[in-house]
Structure 1
């Protein structure tokens, strides 16, 4: 259940960033952002999987 909530929140945040970028409110380069932070994303996903085991 916790994993579903985290996944839902991640999708909401990513969707909001895409929407704000498309509407012109932000000037984010999402490709550059992901290419910079992909190792941290892998670590966070791994920690989530590790701590979600029961």
Structure 2
């Protein structure tokens, strides 16, 4: 059930912006392999929100 809610949110971020909170289990691998990737998406998300 949690996987379904994390799937749409992950697509909204276009990567793994909230991996340490939302896609912690789905983006866990991406975050561990490249922590920079997660932070990079977070910055892009701020621009898209504007």
Bin of the TM-score, shorter chain as denominator length: 0.3 to 0.5
TM-score (normalised: structure 1): 0.37
Instruction: Specify the structure having the higher radius of gyration (Cα).
Output: 1
| Bigger fraction of residues in helix | 1
TM-score (normalised: structure 2): 0.39
